[in-house]
Chains A and B, each alone.
Chain A
Amino acid sequence: MLDRIGLSLWTMQSTAAAPASIPALYRRLGEDARLVETLGLHSLWLAEHRLWYDGWCPAPLHAAAAAAAHTERLRFGTAMMLLPQHDPDGLADAARTFDRLTGGRLELGVGLGYRDAEYDALGLRRDRRGKAMEHNLGRLVERWPAADDDRRRPWVGGMAPVAIERAARHGCGLMLPQTLTGERLAETVAAYRAAATVPGRIGITKDVHVTDDRERETAFRAALRRHFAEEIGSWWALGGKLGFAQPEGLERQLARIDECLLAGPAAAVAEALAAPLEAGVDFLLLRVAFDFVDHAELRRQAVAVAEGVAPLLAGERSAR
C-alpha cells in the first residue's frame, strides 16, 4: 500500500501565522525527502503559486531537483504545476532534464490555476486558460513523450467533465480534489475509465492529520481554518469578489474544507480512505504539510501515515 501513497504539499511558505527561514525550508526539503523515502512511501509533492508575500515556491520542479539528489528511489510530484502559466517547451525541457538526472522519478501534475494576478503578471488572460491548457498539454506530451510505463504520463488535476475528457484524450492520469466523494466520485472514476485511451492512474488528494489527542485535533482544525481563510480570502474570486469581501461565501468554503479534513486516530483516517480506494482510486495524495505544521510535527505525521495508516489499508485493492 505504501507505493500508492504520496505525501504533500511542500509549498515553501513563510506566512504571517508561521514565519520560517526560507533558506531553511529549502534545506529541509532534502531532509524530508530522505525521511519519506526511508518510510517506503511513493512520493513527495510540491505546489506552485507565484508573486505572494510568503515566498510560495513558483518553480516546484526546480526545487524538487535538489531534493531528488538526496534520495535514490522516492518520486517527486507537482500538485499542481499551473501549466497555462508556463512555456510548454521550457517545461518539457525541465521535465526531461529532471527525469534524466533522477532515473525517471518525476510525477508531473498540471492544473489551471485561478488567480488573475498570476495570469496578469505573465501577460496572459485568465479567461483563456482552458485554451492555453489544451495547447500546452498537447505540446508537453509531444515534447516529453510517455514511456510504455504510465508513470511517465502527467497527471491532470480537476473533476469537471472537460478535465476528465482532456486527461483521457492525452493519456494522462487524473488527480481528483478532496471534495469529490460518494456517488459523484464513483461516477467520475467510471467516466474517466470509459474515456481513457490507456489505463491511466486516478489519484485523489486529502488533507490529513493523524492524532489520538482530541485537543490536538481541535487545534489543527482551527489552524487549518486560519490557513485557508488567508488563502481563500486573498485569492479566490467568489461571486465576482475576492474572498474577504464575501464573508458568507468564504465561510461556506471553510466549512467544506473542514468537512473534508481527515483528522483523528490512524484507524479513523484509514477507514475514511477506504472509500476512495473502493471507488476505484489508485493513488492517495495525503496532505500533511502546511505552513503551520512545524518541522518536528511534520515528520511525526509522515511516520504516522506510513506506519499507522498505511498498514490498515493493506487489504484494499492491490496496486495497478
Chain B
Amino acid sequence: MRLLLEPVGAERELPVAVARAALAAGLDGVLLTASDTLAAPLVTAAYVAASVPDLLVAAEVALGDRHPVEVAEEMLTVDQATQGRLIAVARPADGAEEHFAEALEIVRAAATARPFAFAGERWTVPARLAENTDAHDELVRVMPPPARARLELWWAGDLARERYDGAAALVARLRAGRERAGWDWVAVAAPADAAAEIGARVRPRVQLDRLPDGLEDHWERTLESERSRQ
C-alpha cells in the first residue's frame, strides 16, 4: 500500500513543510488540494516537487469548467517540471459535474503521443470554426509529452481518502479497505507532526497480507527503546 500525506487545517498553506515531513517519514508523497490562498494545486505541485526531492506529488485537478485542453497542458507541463513525479487526481469541478466525463476523456486523449480530435456535447476539439481561416488542422497534438512513459491521470476510485486519528485505528481501516475494496493508494489527511507516526507505525503494518507473530511487538519495543534513548 502506498501512502500520501494530505495537509489539514492551517498546514494547507504550508505544503513544503508538509512535504518535507512526508519525505522524512518515508511516505510516498503528498496530496495537494485547492485552498483559499493556494487555489491552483498544479502550481503548488510544481513548487513543492522542486522544493522536496524524490517525493510523489499528487494534485487534485477540477475538470468540467475550464477548457480541458488548457487543463491538460498545465498537467503535462507540471509533469515535466516535476520530472514525472506528478499524479493528477481528477475531480468534477463544482457546478460543472455534468461535463466531468467529457473533460476527462479529452484530457486522456491529450496526454497520448498522437494527434486527436474530439466531438462532444460541451467541447469540440479542434472547433473548426469558419472564422479561423488560417486554422487548417483536423487533429491537434497537445504538448509537451509526459516526462515519463505516461501521465499519471487518476480519478476518484484510484485513490482512497482517509484521515489520521491514531495509528492503530488507521491501520485497522486501511486493512479493511484493502480487503473490502482493494485499496492500494490512500491519501491520509493528517497534521505534519503525525507523519513520523504514520511512517513508523502505519506504513509497515499495511504492506503485507499478514505479519509473523511477534513482529509488531518487536517493532513497538524498538520504537520504545529509541524514544527512551532520545
Contacts and interface: CB of A to CB of B under 8 A. Distances in A.
Contacts of A30: 50
Contacts of B141: 51, 53
B135 A69 contact: no
Interface stretch (A35-43, A92-100, A211-219, A247-255): A92-100
Closest 5 A/B residue pairs (Cβ): A69-B50, A120-B135, A66-B81, A93-B39, A58-B73
Contacts of A56: 143
A97 B69 contact: no
B43 A22 contact: no
Interface in A46-103: 50-59, 61-63, 65-70, 85-87, 90, 93-94, 96-98, 100-102
Given A22-B145, A123-B125, A97 B39 contact: yes
Given A65-B44, A93-B34, A116-B132, 4 more contacts: A96-B39, A101-B43, A117-B134, A121-B135
Contacts of A85: 70
Interface in B117-151: 123-129, 131-137, 140-145, 147
Contacts, number: 170
13 contacts: A56-B143, A58-B73, A59-B77, A65-B50, A66-B49, A85-B70, A97-B39, A101-B38, A101-B47, A117-B126, A117-B132, A120-B128, A125-B129
Contacts of A62: 42-43, 46, 74, 77-78, 81
Interface residues of A, number: 52
A61 B43 contact: yes
A62 B34 CA distance: 15
Contacts of B51: 69
A116 B47 contact: no
B167 to A, nearest CB: 31
Contacts of A67: 50, 81
B81 A63 contact: yes
Contact of A102 (B47, B70, B123): B47
B140 A121 contact: yes
Given A50-B73, A100-B37, A26 B80 contact: yes
B128 A63 contact: no
A259 interface: no
B163 interface: no
B132 A123 contact: no
Contacts of B147: 22-23, 26
B82 interface: yes
Nearest to B130: A125
Contacts of B126: 117, 120-121
A101 B48 CA distance: 9
A98 B45 CA distance: 11
Contacts of A126: 131-132, 134-135
Q: Interface size class for chain B?
A: 35 or more
A22 B144 contact: yes
Contacts of A148: none
Which of B34, B124, B141, B145: most chain A Cβ within 10 A?
Answer: B141
B40 interface: yes
A90 B73 contact: no
Contacts of A22: 80, 144-145, 147
A54 to B, nearest CB: 8
Interface string B102-120: 0000000000000000000
Contacts of B134: 115-117, 126, 237, 242
A226 interface: no
A300 interface: no
Nearest to B81: A66
Interface string A190-220: 0000000000000000000000000000000
B66 interface: yes
